[in-house]
């Protein structure tokens, strides 16, 4: 069976959740199917022909931003010529699915991701377009995948469509001890710290978390993100980088360094308010970290209502001040148990394979 995966930046994975998913789908299933992964030639200076047994095909467009729709469309119509099944990750290219289904009998599987149209970063037209693309994806795909039970229920309630529930794996992450080189580069890591890594966007509640830690100096905060990507990030970095207990780091692309900083934190802070099952959250769970998560249904579902939750600055400060060490240890153990059961790539890839 010939399978194409479209909608990601490409392989090797170095961007986000869909890329990591594609990495492990090809790793576990590359010997079972003839897989083609569409990649952005704008991102990869070195263009591999194959990876994990999959063929890589390059499109000369950016996979994200304003070019993402065209990138998905070009990939989709290319794949229609020779594959049996197409896995589309995200909904932006699904605007043409009525046409695709009219001219082709190829099997179309769509992972609709989170409710992308709800994100604060989009303008009015972009939100309308993404919501409409979501509607077409759900109504015209042969199979729809959601990564979180809350999204699954939303699809059933809004579109009267049953979709498959498949989350993300996390067992690619490993605990790593600090090296002398990392301590030398980031000397503040010798003190107790909370940690957060994310895109610096309003719906990740970065402003709320920074303000809470600025008002509670007893715990350091280390946050990694793309601060220079937007005015929102630039303004926050300008305001909070001078706060003594807050350390704002630019993106870290060395996975070993990132693993060391994340593995050894006193507390993991998860502020995402949009989307479904977030890969960084399940990775933190697998690393057996105590988690304070923003109180939305997506996060509660992912953590089986077993993390600790905050809804505003005051609640976060109260939790920082009053949560006992023994309670943090209990939460950490529970997170690990849940991740071991639900978020392994062996389980996830077998669920996808059953749909192909």
Fold match between domain 2-169+344-353 and domain 180-342? yes
Using the predicted structure, report yes or no on whether residue 236 has a pLDDT greater than 80.
yes
Q: 284: pLDDT confidence band, cut at 50, 70 and 90?
A: very high
Q: 111: pLDDT confidence band, cut at 50, 70 and 90?
A: very high
| pLDDT (0 to 100) of residue 65 | 79
Fold of 180-342: Rossmann fold (3.40.50)
CA-nearest of 118, 258, 91, 308 to 202 is 118
pLDDT (mean) for 38-55: 95
| pLDDT (0 to 100) of residue 285 | 98
Tokens for 314, please give them. Answer: 């005051």
Distance CA 200, CA 194 (A): 17
Distances in Å between the alpha carbon of 138 and those of 63, 119, 141, 281? 22, 19, 6, 26
| pLDDT (0 to 100) of residue 16 | 78
Helix axes 124-140, 149-159, angle to 10 degrees: 80
Residue 109 has, within 13 A of its CA and on its CB side, a CA count of 19
Phi, psi (deg, nearest 5) at residue 90:
100, 165
SS3 track for the chain: CEEEEECCCCCCCCCCHHHHHHHHHHHHHCCCCEEEEEEECCCCCCCCCEECCEEEEEECCCCCHHHHHHHHHHHHHHHCCCCCEEEEECCHHHHHHHHHHHHCCCEEEEECCCCHHHCCCCCHHHHHHHHHHHHHHHHHCCEEEECCHHHHHHHHHHHCCCCEECCCCCCCCCCCCCCHHHHHHCHHHHCCEEEEECCCCHHHCHHHHHHHHHCCCCCEEEEECCHHHCHHHHHHHHHHCCCCCEEEECCCCCHHHHHHHHHCCCEEEECCCCCCCCHHHHHHHHCCCCEEEECCHHHHHHCCCCCEEECCHHHHHHHHHHCCHHHHHHHHHHHHHHHHHHCCHHHHHHHHHCCC
**pLDDT tens, residue by residue, 145-167:** 999 999 999 999 999 999 999 99
| pLDDT (0 to 100) of residue 122 | 75
**pLDDT tens, residue by residue, 81-104:** 999 999 999 998 999 999 999 999
279 Rama sector, left if φ>0, alpha if ψ -120 to 50, beta otherwise = alpha
Distance CA 200, CA 204 (A): 7
| pLDDT (0 to 100) of residue 255 | 82
Class of 2-169+344-353 in CATH? alpha beta
**pLDDT tens, residue by residue, 290-337:** 999 999 999 999 999 999 999 999 999 999 999 999 999 999 999 999
pLDDT (mean) for 34-52: 96
Distance CA 136, CA 29 (A): 28
pTM score of the predicted model: 0.90
């Amino acid at each position: 069976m010939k399978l194409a995966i479209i909608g990601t930046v490409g392989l090797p994975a170095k961007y986000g959740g869909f890329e990591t998913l594609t990495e492990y789908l090809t790793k576990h299933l590359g010997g079972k199917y003839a897989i083609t992964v569409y990649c952005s030639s704008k991102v990869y200076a070195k263009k591999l022909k194959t990876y994990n047994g999959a063929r890589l095909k390059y499109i000369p467009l950016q996979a994200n931003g304003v070019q993402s729709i065209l990138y998905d469309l070009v990939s989709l119509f290319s794949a229609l010529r020779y594959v049996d099944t197409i896995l589309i990750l995200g909904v932006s290219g699904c605007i043409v699915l009525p046409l695709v289904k009219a001219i082709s009998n190829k099997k179309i599987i769509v992972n609709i991701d989170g409710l992308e149209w709800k994100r604060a970063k989009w303008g009015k037209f972009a939100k309308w377009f993404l919501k409409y693309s979501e509607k077409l994806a759900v109504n015209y795909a042969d199979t729809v995948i959601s990564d979180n039970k809350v999204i699954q229920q939303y699809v059933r309630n809004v579109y009267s469509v049953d979709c498959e529930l498949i989350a993300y794996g996390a067992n690619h992450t490993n605990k790593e001890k600090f090296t002398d080189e990392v301590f030398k580069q980031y000397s503040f890591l010798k003190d107790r710290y909370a940690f957060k890594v994310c895109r610096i966007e309003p719906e990740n509640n970065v402003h709320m978390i920074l303000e809470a830690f600025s008002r509670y100096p007893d715990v350091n905060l280390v946050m990694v993100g793309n601060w220079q990507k937007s005015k929102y990030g630039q303004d926050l970095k300008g305001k909070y980088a001078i706060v003594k207990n807050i350390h704002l780091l630019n993106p870290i692309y060395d996975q070993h360094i990132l693993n060391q900083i994340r593995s050894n934190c006193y507390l993991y802070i998860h502020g995402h308010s949009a989307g479904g099952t977030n890969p960084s959250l399940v990775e933190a769970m697998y690393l057996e970290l105590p988690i304070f998560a923003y109180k939305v249904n997506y996060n509660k579902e992912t953590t089986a209502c077993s993390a600790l939750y905050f809804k505003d600055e005051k609640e976060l400060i109260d939790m920082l001040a009053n949560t006992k060490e023994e309670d943090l240890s209990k939460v950490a153990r529970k997170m690990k148990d849940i991740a071991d059961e639900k978020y392994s790539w062996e389980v996830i890839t077998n669920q996808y394979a059953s749909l192909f």
